[in-house]
Chain A
Amino acid sequence: MCSPAARSRTLLAALALGAAACRGPQSALDPAGRGADRIATLFTIMAVGAAVVWLAMVALTVFAVRVHAAPRVERRTALFILGGGALVPTVVLTALLVYGLALLPELVAPAPAGSLRVAVTGEQWWWRVRYPGPDGRTVELANEVHLPLGQAADLRLDSADVIHSFWIPSLGGKLDMFPGRTSRLALWPTRAGRYRGVCAEYCGASHALMAFAVVVEPRAALDRWLAHQSEPARPPTTPLGARGAALFLADGCGACHAVRGTPAAGTLGPDLTHVGSRHGLGAATLPNDAGTFARWITHPESLKPGVHMPAFGMLPPADVRALAAYLEELQ
């Protein structure tokens, strides 16, 4: 047996671990946006409310069974059952319900006019993202969303196939994405940083592998990022990359993927114009490096079951390396 001191140290460590688990890029308990902040408070109040009710019930049970295990006056008992069994729960539930409902108008209010508008379409199993470009034209990106710090963003959400759900736990509530209907979600990030968004509605085999990177940064930095992202791809600078660029077109990748500034203009899969700059691959579920590019190209199915991209395992390894080098250069 361990000593009491050791035991309390273990307990403290466990508590600290538990508290640490509340932080991180994808925690509704560590809010970095207005919506998430309200929801975290709501959660705390509901959890404390539930704990108080539970403790009171346990105390009553102990009282009835242990402390005062004697027959009671029937009339008083009836009153007690009515009060404790019906009246008190109704009052407690009403209070919690009113508090919860009172939060709703703010959480569902649309973003103020003039907010940055970001359109996101859920697709099995990735995210098509559209921003208004600096010249007014729409810029199509994928699997990464940048939001302005301290400002509202007006997200327009829909789906290309089945129902998905858009959720950045650190920033706000989740909202379903329906085919044929645009839902609006206002997010108001309050802390700069990198977060993680996920699909929160089961949508098929790789639902759990459908994430996206979220970057919250000051508006000026965001505008610089967006200006860069809206530029066409830079031509490869290494011979290997140049060979990869030619293979990309020759192997038919351009039928599904667009690389702006090249003849590749497919729209079935994610835009790859600046794929090398993304914070992850395969919808933010894999590291972004040459090795992963090679694995993704040769057997995407093993990284993402059911993926709607054919495997190119028949390509000679040298070609795969060239393609990977090219994609990495698409910064």
Chain B
Amino acid sequence: MSPEAPDDESNQSLWFVVAAPLCWAAHFLVSYATVAVWCERYAGRDGSLYQARVAVAAYTAAALGGIGLIALAAWRRYQHGGGTEAFDADTPLGRHRFIGSATLLLSALSAVATAYSALTVVFIRDCH
């Protein structure tokens, strides 16, 4: 993820910045669909949410793991070149570091958002 030569910008991608929010979005979507399908097709109106909650726990672990890896890569980018060049500098290294810092901050936000989504099934235990 973090290319060795930041002055070569040909393989830099902005997608890196949105990777963590995408993890949150995927987690939200898949959790929502799982719970909806579970209640509608299998458990019924008064059924227990147990199996769906286990699934959401697994998705949460996966999403937080993914966000963690992205954050780690972002941190490395941010620290690139000793972390001394101003990260808003109009230079390849400055841009490289900027993308790292933006990604790092978005990773933190995505992690909190993912945890908030998952909190729902900590409290809601059945389908009604």
Measured between beta carbons, the chain B residues less than 8 angstroms from A108 are: 124, 128
Closest 8 CB pairs of A and B: A101-B123, A110-B128, A102-B123, A90-B112, A104-B123, A108-B128, A101-B119, A104-B124
A97-B116, A102-B123 known; A109-B128 Cβ under 8 A? yes
Size class of the contact patch on chain A: 10 to 19
Measured between beta carbons, the chain B residues less than 8 angstroms from A90 are: 112
Q: Does A86 contact B (CB under 8 A)?
A: yes
Size class of the contact patch on chain B: 10 to 19
Decide: A101 and B122 in contact? CB cutoff 8 A.
yes
The contact string, 1 if C-beta is below 8 Å from chain A, for chain B 117-128, is 001101111001
A109-B128, A184-B128 known; A101-B108 Cβ under 8 A? no
Measured between beta carbons, the chain A residues less than 8 angstroms from B90 are: none
Q: Does A263 contact B (CB under 8 A)?
A: no
The contact string, 1 if C-beta is below 8 Å from chain A, for chain B 97-126, is 000000000001000100010011011110
The contact string, 1 if C-beta is below 8 Å from chain A, for chain B 61-94, is 0000000000000000000000000000000000
Task: For the A-B complex with A105-B123, A108-B124 known, give 10 more contacts whose Cβ atoms are closer than 8 Å.
Answer: A86-B108, A90-B112, A97-B116, A97-B119, A98-B119, A101-B119, A101-B122, A101-B124, A102-B123, A110-B46
The contact string, 1 if C-beta is below 8 Å from chain B, for chain A 71-89, is 0000000000000001000
Measured between beta carbons, the chain A residues less than 8 angstroms from B108 are: 86
Measured between beta carbons, the chain B residues less than 8 angstroms from A110 are: 46, 128
Measured between beta carbons, the chain B residues less than 8 angstroms from A109 are: 128
Instruction: For A110, give the chain B residue with the smallest CB separation.
Output: B128
A interface residues (Cβ-Cβ under 8 A, vs B): 86, 90, 94, 97-98, 101-102, 104-105, 108-110, 184
B interface residues (Cβ-Cβ under 8 A, vs A): 45-46, 108, 112, 116, 119-120, 122-125, 128
CB distance from A166 to the nearest CB of B (A): 16
CB distance from A153 to the nearest CB of B (A): 16
CA distance A105 to B45 in the complex (A): 14
6 A-B interface contacts by CB (under 8 A)? A98-B119, A101-B122, A102-B123, A110-B46, A110-B128, A184-B45
Instruction: For A98, give the chain B residue with the smallest CB separation.
Output: B119
CB distance from B109 to the nearest CB of A (A): 9
CA distance A238 to B45 in the complex (A): 52
Measured between beta carbons, the chain A residues less than 8 angstroms from B122 are: 101
CB distance from A184 to the nearest CB of B (A): 7
Measured between beta carbons, the chain A residues less than 8 angstroms from B116 are: 94, 97
Decide: A105 and B119 in contact? CB cutoff 8 A.
no
Measured between beta carbons, the chain B residues less than 8 angstroms from A98 are: 119
CA distance A109 to B112 in the complex (A): 28
Instruction: For A186, give the chain B residue with the smallest CB separation.
Output: B128
Measured between beta carbons, the chain B residues less than 8 angstroms from A105 are: 123-125
Instruction: For B115, give the chain A residue with the smallest CB separation.
Output: A94
CA distance A3 to B3 in the complex (A): 74
CA distance A184 to B128 in the complex (A): 8
Measured between beta carbons, the chain B residues less than 8 angstroms from A101 are: 119-120, 122-124
CA distance A104 to B121 in the complex (A): 11
Measured between beta carbons, the chain B residues less than 8 angstroms from A86 are: 108
Measured between beta carbons, the chain B residues less than 8 angstroms from A97 are: 116, 119
Instruction: For B116, give the chain A residue with the smallest CB separation.
Output: A97
CB distance from A244 to the nearest CB of B (A): 46
